[in-house]
């Protein structure tokens, strides 16, 4: 009988996400990280927090409004969680701006990258800014005075706005004391100045500084008493009724515009904003004092993400590298089908190139022997060579089927556009299964050879997105194994047709078998340990939250199974608790690349089973998504994944953070040991050219 575990054995998801962002923020503090990359990490934290408030905090507020929603596995209800989230988020954001003002901006200034504050402008700079305001800014502004005929305007999600306090009467004799100025999104938030004006190599001025300096020009004859930046974050969850929806694309297109105007969840203002203005804004957006975040600087640090691209200083950025290509594919114009027939091919991104995947689908589109192509699309980007190849294949008469996930968060619009383009040329476009996101990464090509049809498949842990393939770590597998290909064909049949789910020989699939198979593999290690045999589980993923899986890991630990977990983001399991999880170690690796691979290893009495997956160990991945988890059958590739995808991370003492039983993390440091930077070592081993020492 399974042992029962109490709420104290589980950590809170929302607090875990904030803890993850502390680890990312530590990269911005790390003097060993190139300076402009540190600025990027600071911006990434802001971007992460935006989504955190839009989705997770918004969800907590919805639960509070509904009332009666049960507590999570950790025992905390939405009220308790929101209280702690506010406390910790305020601390995190305060730390973030302290790093910006006390560390990064002075360091950038010393390198000739300067953000010119309006209080320090000289006459030439003031004149340039004034000309820019009248020529580029003022023509697109629409100041709105607040009075009975001009109510508070609809403010876009995450947009830059200004609350202005005024004194005096306007041209119509109105005595309005307040106005709102919305900064159009077409305007850049950081404006580069000419060198001769800025007095440095790379000088920038914030749009907010320009508006502050000239806001009086918008209200002729009136006195501006104060002007304060503000930014509101809104609930960005989309609501599509699974039972009522008749056409998912049409329903989603109707819902997308509302994302910009969902219920407010957070208000950001500058730290010099008066209490009266702050209270006024909170009332307008129906927010509580705990939802107000005062910041010492620009209210939207995400907009600084583009600065490194505007500054040509390679010495302040990560060293460039060329992704490697497996030897069997290095011959120019290599026949992908011929090579895959000879044996499975493993790609490890971004250390190895994404180009073979593009080559594969482009060759399939042009090959007269190819009769059909099927692919899932979750995130692929606005510009995609893969999507263009599918369009070309359709025009050349191939049977092209694309399963497009329209509910891929924040990529809905791009996916709708690709779906429309594919349908226009005659491709079969389906939207998966309503109520279950299609998150599996699958590509199948059917080719006629010697009078018979043969299948070729690519399976991956990450999206078919060439840009993120340079930033995220992922594995991809090419195979012509008939049984694996038959499994993939079965999953495609489920997605596009109707009928009972068929039995799969090798793939574990959500929502049908993945959860039970993972539990079975964990229980098998537990059984082996109880029988006195060595048992070991290593699992790498983005998040670990599903309670039953965590309980199974606790049971395995109690039985003597060694469990190594490499969880980049949120982990609800408490490691190292005597009598519960003393054999479990949890670590997170944060570095140059976003760790995105999902790899599951089970020793299984020396069988050394290795699986790659599109799924994390979360409720949504197990039960509300269509995911695939696939085994590595080739022994050499299995060994590669164990070495490249697991062991190198367990030995890392530069990028790794070890988790304590309280949910806190401590960063590993080399001290006297030889530094082992997992991502650097993989670049050295797999990339097409040597990389300089460093991150």
Q: What is the arrangement of strands in the sheet containing 113-115, beginning at the earlier edge strand?
A: 113-115, 202-206, 190-193
* CA–CA separation, 322 and 673 (whole Å): 29
Ramachandran assignment for 544, one of left (phi > 0), alpha (psi -120 to 50 degrees), beta (any other):
beta
Tracing tokens 């907010």 back to the chain, one arrives at 208
Strand, coil or helix: 106:
helix
Strand partners, 163: 180, 228
CB 46, CB 300: distance < 8 Å: yes
* CA–CA separation, 115 and 196 (whole Å): 15
Tracing tokens 């594995």 back to the chain, one arrives at 475
> How many angstroms separate the Cα of 55 from the Cα of each of 58, 66, 277, 413?
5, 16, 27, 18
> How many angstroms separate the Cα of 609 from the Cα of each of 461, 513, 525?
17, 17, 11
Catalytic residue among 439, 458, 536, 596: 439
The neighbour count for residue 508, using CB atoms within 10 Å, is 24
Residue 448 makes CB contacts below 8 A (sequence gap 6+) with 369, 370, 371, 454
Strand, coil or helix: 668:
coil
Which of 12, 164, 5, 148 has its CA nearest to residue 74? 12
**Cα-only R_g, the chain:** 27
Pull the structure tokens for residue 610.
Answer: 């290795």
Q: Is 212 a catalytic residue?
A: no
Pull the structure tokens for residue 537.
Answer: 């589980």
**Residue 419: Cβ-neighbour burial (10 angstroms; 0-12, 13-18, 19+):** buried
The neighbour count for residue 305, using CB atoms within 10 Å, is 16
Q: What count of residues does the chain have?
A: 695
Which helix (H) or strand (E) is 113 found in, with range?
strand 113-115
Helix spans in 450-561 (H) = 482-496, 514-530, 547-559
The neighbour count for residue 22, using CB atoms within 10 Å, is 17
Strand partners, 180: 144, 163
Answer positive or negative: Cα dihedral of 106, 311, 677, 694: negative
Residue 414 makes CB contacts below 8 A (sequence gap 6+) with 380, 381, 382
Pull the structure tokens for residue 108.
Answer: 């950038």
The gap from C-alpha 676 to its chain's centroid, in whole angstroms, comes to: 26
* CA–CA separation, 609 and 645 (whole Å): 14
Q: What is the 3-state secondary structure (H, E, C) of 34-66?
A: CHHHHHHHHHHHHHHHHHHHHHHHHHHHHHHHH
Residue 436 phi, psi (nearest 5): -135, 115
Pairing of strands 161-167, 223-234: antiparallel
Which helix (H) or strand (E) is 638 found in, with range?
helix 635-641
**Residue 220: Cβ-neighbour burial (10 angstroms; 0-12, 13-18, 19+):** exposed
Q: Which residues are catalytic, by number?
A: 439
């Amino acid at each position: 009988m399974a042992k029962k575990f109490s709420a104290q054995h589980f950590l809170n998801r929302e607090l875990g996400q904030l803890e993850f962002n502390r680890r990312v923020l530590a990269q911005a503090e790390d003097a060993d990280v190139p300076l402009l990359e540190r600025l990027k990490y600071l911006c990434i934290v802001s971007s992460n927090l935006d989504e955190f408030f839009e989705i997770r905090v918004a969800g907590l507020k919805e639960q509070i409004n509904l009332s009666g929603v049960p507590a999570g596995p950790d025992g905390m209800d939405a009220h308790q969680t929101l209280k702690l989230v506010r406390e910790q988020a305020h601390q995190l954001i305060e730390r973030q701006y302290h790093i910006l003002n006390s560390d990064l901006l002075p360091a950038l200034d010393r390198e000739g990258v300067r953000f010119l504050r309006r209080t320090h402008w000289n006459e030439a700079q003031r004149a340039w800014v004034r000309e820019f305001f009248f020529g580029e800014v003022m023509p697109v502004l629409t100041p709105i005075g607040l009075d009975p005929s001009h109510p508070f305007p609809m403010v876009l999600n995450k947009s830059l706005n200004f609350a202005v306090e005024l004194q005096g009467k306007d041209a119509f004799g109105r005595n309005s004391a307040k106005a709102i100025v919305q900064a159009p999104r077409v305007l850049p938030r950081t404006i580069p100045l000419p060198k001769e004006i800025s007095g440095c190599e790379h000088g920038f001025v914030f749009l907010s500084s320009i508006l502050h300096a000239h806001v009086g020009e918008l209200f002729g004859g009136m006195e501006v008493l104060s002007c304060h930046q503000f930014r509101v974050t809104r609930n960005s969850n989309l609501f599509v009724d699974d039972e009522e929806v008749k056409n998912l694309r049409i329903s989603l297109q109707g819902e997308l515009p509302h994302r910009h105007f969902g219920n407010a969840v957070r208000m950001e203002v500058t730290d010099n904003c008066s209490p009266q203005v702050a209270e006024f804004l909170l009332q307008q957006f129906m927010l509580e004092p705990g939802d107000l975040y005062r910041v010492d600087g620009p209210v939207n640090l995400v907009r600084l993400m583009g600065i490194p691209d505007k500054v040509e200083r390679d010495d302040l950025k990560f060293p460039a590298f060329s992704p490697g290509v497996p030897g069997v594919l290095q011959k120019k114009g290599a026949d992908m089908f011929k090579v895959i027939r000879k044996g499975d091919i493993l790609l490890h991104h971004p250390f190895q190139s994404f180009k073979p995947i593009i080559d594969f689908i482009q060759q399939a589109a042009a090959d007269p022997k190819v009769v059909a192509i099927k692919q899932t699309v979750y995130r692929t980007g606005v510009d995609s060579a893969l999507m263009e190849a599918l369009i070309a294949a359709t025009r050349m008469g191939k049977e092209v089927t694309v399963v497009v996930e329209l509910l891929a968060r924040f990529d809905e619009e791009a996916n709708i556009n690709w779906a429309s383009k594919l349908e226009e040329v005659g491709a079969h476009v389906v939207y998966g299964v309503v109520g279950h996101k299609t998150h599996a990464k699958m590509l199948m090509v059917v080719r006629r050879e010697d009078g018979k049809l043969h299948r070729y498949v690519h399976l991956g842990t990450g999206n078919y997105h060439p840009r993120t393939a340079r930033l995220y770590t992922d594995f991809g597998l090419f195979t012509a194994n008939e049984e694996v290909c038959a499994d993939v064909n079965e999953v495609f049949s489920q997605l596009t047709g109707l009928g009972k789910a068929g039995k799969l020989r090798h793939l574990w699939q959500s929502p049908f078998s993945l959860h039970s198979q993972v539990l079975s593999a964990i229980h098998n290690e537990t059984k082996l340990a109880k029988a006195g045999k060595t048992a070991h589980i290593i699992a790498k993923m983005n998040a670990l939250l599903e309670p039953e899986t965590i309980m199974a890991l606790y049971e395995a630990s109690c039985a003597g199974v060694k469990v190594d977990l490499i969880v980049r983001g949120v982990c609800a399991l408490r490691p190292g608790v005597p009598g519960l999880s003393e054999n479990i170690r949890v670590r997170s690796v944060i570095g140059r690349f976003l760790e995105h691979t999902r790899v599951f290893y089970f020793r299984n009495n020396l069988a050394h089973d290795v699986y790659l997956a599109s799924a994390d160990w979360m409720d949504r991945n197990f039960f509300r998504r269509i995911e695939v988890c696939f085994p590595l059958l080739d022994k050499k590739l299995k060994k590669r994944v164990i070495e490249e995808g697991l062991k190198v991370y367990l030995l890392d003492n530069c990028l790794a953070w070890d988790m304590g039983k309280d949910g806190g993390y401590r960063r590993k440091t080399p001290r006297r040991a030889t530094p082992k930077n997992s991502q650097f070592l993989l670049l050295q081993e797999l990339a097409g050219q040597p990389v300089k020492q460093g991150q």
